[in-house]
Structure formats: structure tokens, C-alpha cells
Structure 1
Amino acid sequence: MHQSPPSMWPDFLVGQLDKPVRVLLIDDDSHMRLVIAQELMNDKRTMLVGQASSVREGRKAIKNHDFDVMLVDLNLGDGDGFALIEYMKSIRPQAQAIIISVMENDDQVLHAFELGASGYLLKNSWFGNYPQAVLEVANGGASITPSLARRLLQRFDTHAAPAARADAAPSVHEHEHAESDPDRLSQREKEVLRLVASGYTSVEIASRLSISSLTVNTHIKNIYRKLQVHTRAQAVRLASLRGLF
């Protein structure tokens, strides 16, 4: 059942009653579109601005609608959601994308994140949580299931091990350069990145570290700059491959 949004919604978060998060929904399943649309419309913090049922319609909708978050099915009748993420990022780079799918394939998830997606939801596991997912990514978070986050971290650990062994004995010059490198992640930034990798939102990270959400987002922006990435998933993957945590 749908739960009403909390009576108190912090004014520093995106998704206020007078300025809800605008959502574009793309899914070729008419029943699923109806379910998701109803949930979004029932939450005053989110507003459905457009719908589409195919890649062709999705391209038109992306071009014609102003939106903040795109919920897109992975498997569409005339193509896949990956193509729409790429298209969205090319013309609306500030918008966020969440994949919705009936399957949770690790390789597909990683590919979606590499393209710039901020979330990956299983349709059958997330009823009642679409507005929550939208609000999470709109506020700088990532929306994935805990089981998926755990599996991805295990994959990162597997890939990071050979890299860590290769870098186990750096030269004196490399060591000195690393110590003096101003772009090296700080301990606090590593803490934030670990929590991001575990699937926590900016608000949850702030609570765990006893700092403000604005400070968390500042740390995340600094992490992006230092690692030269554009999404949380890219930051987590690169940091793991480099053995930064």
C-alpha cells in the first residue's frame, strides 16, 4: 500500500511540495506504467510530467519534456533503455536515470552505471518505493537494492586485488608523489565513498558521520573532481580498482 510522505520534509532537500521532482516514465508495460504513475502522483514531492512506451517515443519525450529523473525500462519493444540513457545524457546531462527491470543481471547493472544511471530497481521488489527512489537520486543518492550493492562490492574487490598486488611496491618517487598529490582522497572522502558504495543516500551518510547533507554533497563533488568521474557508480568502481579503500 502507498504510504503518505512524511509530514516534515527537510527544506534543504530536493522535492518540496511547491517544487516537486519532475519525472519522465518510459515502460512498454501499460499496467506497470499505471502502477508507477499512481505512486508518483500520490506523493506530493514527485510529479509525473510525461510517459512513453518505446525507444522512439522515449527520444521524443526526452527532447520535449523538462524533467529531473527518468524511470526507464531496460527492455523496450524497439530497443533497450541503455540507448535512452545515452541520449538523455547527451541533451539533458543534469537529469538522472533509474533503470527498472524484471531481471537483475550484474553486467547489465554495471553497464547502466557506466552510462550514467543512478539507480537500478527490480520491478517486483520495489512496489511502493518509486517515489523514494526518485527522491534519493534527485538528492545525490543512488537507488539500488542492498543485495545488488553487496554483489557489486564483491566484484569490485575481485578486480581490485590484482591492481593492489601490482601496486604493492611503488618506487620512492611514486610514493613521494602520492603523498604530496593534492588530489589524493582524504580519509573523510574515503569514508563517504565507502558509504556511497554501500548504497546509502546523502542524508543517511550525513546522519552516520554526524555532518550535514550539504557537507556530504561537497565531499562527493570533490571525489568526482579528484577521480575525474561524473557519477557515484563510476567513482565507486574507479576507487575500488585503484585500491583507494
Structure 2
Amino acid sequence: MRADDGGGPIRVALADDEAMLRRGLRVLLESGGTVRVVAEAGNGDELLAAVRTHRPDVALIDVQMPGKDGLTALRELRSVPGAPVAAVLTTFDLDDYVEDALRFGANGFLLKDAEPAVLVRAVHDLAAGGAVLDPRITARLLPRLRNVSDNEHEKQLVRALSARERQVLELLADGRSNADIGARLGLTEATVKSYVSTVLSKLGAQNRVQAALIAQRVGGAGNWR
């Protein structure tokens, strides 16, 4: 149970090799009382051990760490029972890593210099089943990913979705959580979860971030029909 559903603070694990940065993030995240950092890690091995011991809801993971790096840890997290929702917490030199991070299951990309309120909101959104993308990262990613994507094929995949599935995708692309999507569309959270799974399957997306990027690449909802 988490703070979002009345069950206490959202439990977070921080993985970054800079101890001072981790301490600063801990203070920022815990300041409102809705988030509790239950574990810190300086590399991927420490993160994996912390996840097994502390069972966090969300993991914020730096990419470049000594020893086992963040990408490797992301990949190995997928085989850990009850693994947390994971987001990459990085600097602007992200471009070389984004595709691997998406493939390994990252549900978000955040910049280390984001405003405290943005980071806290992102943790809440991740815990509630949402995807998070710092707008500055999106602005950098889309031109690069657009060059390597089969845009017409993606448009066809999106247009093949049902009207309701396109509504879900549009809200998902805005970073909305399952609860938010359900409230806007008058659906139960379980029904939204089912729709999201169907949308991901039909788009060939491994996670919500990939689906959101596809939606943004093909343009606004007006282009989906």
C-alpha cells in the first residue's frame, strides 16, 4: 500500500554513485511526507540487493555508475519478483542510452536538476502506473528517434487502435496514470490497465514510455484517424 492509495508513503530506492546527490534527493523527496527513501545505492549491485531487501515501490536510477551500471541493473531488475517501477535519473548526456533504457524497462526519464515538486510528482505518477518524461528530454529525444523510426508504419498501428484505445493512448502520452485515465474516461482502474496492456501489445511497445514516444512521433490525435 502506498501514499497514493492511503497506505503510507511511497517507498523509493535511489541509485547514484554521488553520495551528496543522493542525500540532496532524499531531502527533497521526503520533504512533503508522502515519499520515503528506503534505500540508497552507489552502483547496480547495491541497488539489486536493496530492492530485494527493502521492496521499494519506485527506483530512480543513474545510468553511469562504477561496477554494474544503471542499464545493467535495469535489465536485471526485470527478473526480480515484485520489482519496483524504474525511472532513469540522469543529466543531458542521455542520448546514447535512451534506447537501451527503454528496452530494459525504464518507465521514465528525469533530469537531476528538475524542480523538487517535479521530482515528487514524478514519483507519485510512477507509483500510480504512469510514465514520466521531463519535457526537456522529450524535446531532445523526438528528433533523434524520429530519424530512426518507421513513421508511416507507426501511424498505421495507431490508426488500427479502437476509438477507446486511442483515447487511452492520448492520455497515456500525456503521462497520465491509470487512475487519472480512468477518472477522465469514466472507467475503472482495472479496465484502464487492461486497455493499456492491449495498446502496448498492438503498438509493439514494451512499456508506457515507448508507447508515449510513438504517440508523440506520429503527431497529435488529429493525425490518428
Q: What amino acid is the match of 1:189?
A: E
How far does residue 188 in structure 1 lie from its aligned partner after superposition?
2.2
Equivalences for 1:135-214 in 2 at 5 Å? 135-155=124-144, 157-158=146-147, 159-161=149-151, 163=153, 185-202=161-178, 205=181, 209-212=184-187, 214=189
Q: In the TM superposition, what whole-angstrom CA distance separates every residue of 1:30-63 from its partner, at most 9, and x where no partner exists?
A: 1111111112222332222111112232232122
1:18 paired residue number: 7
Q: Which consecutive unaligned segments of at least 5 residues does structure 2 have? A: none
Q: Which is greater in Rg?
A: 1
Secondary structure in 2 aligned to 1:91?
A: coil
Task: Pick closer, same or farther for the CA change 1:17–1:93 going to 2, 3 Å.
Answer: closer
Alignment of 1:101 with 2:77, yes or no, is no
Query: Structure 1 residues 164, 211: CA separation in 2 closer, same or farther (over 3 Å shift)?
Result: closer
Counterpart of 1:224 in structure 2 is 200
CA RMSD, 1 decimal = 3.4
Task: Work out the CA distance in 2 between the residues paired with 1:192 and 1:156.
Answer: 22
Query: With structure 2 as the length reference, what TM-score do the two structures score?
Result: 0.77
**Structure 2 CA distance for aligned equivalents of residues 164 and 50 of structure 1:** 39
Q: CA deviation at 1:200?
A: 4.2
State TM-score, norm by structure 1: 0.72
> Which residue, out of 85, 106, 117, partners 2:74?
85
Give the 3 Å change call, closer, same or farther, for CA 47–17 of structure 1 in structure 2.
Answer: farther
Give the Cα separation in 1 of the matches to 2:55 and 2:83: 11
Query: 1:69: Cα distance to partner?
Result: 0.7
Select which of 22, 25, 36 maps to 1:47: 36
Q: Quick one: percent identity of the two aligned structures?
A: 28
Task: Select which of 43, 49, 66 maps to 1:60.
Answer: 49
CA deviation after TM superposition for structure 1 residue 139, in Å: 1.0
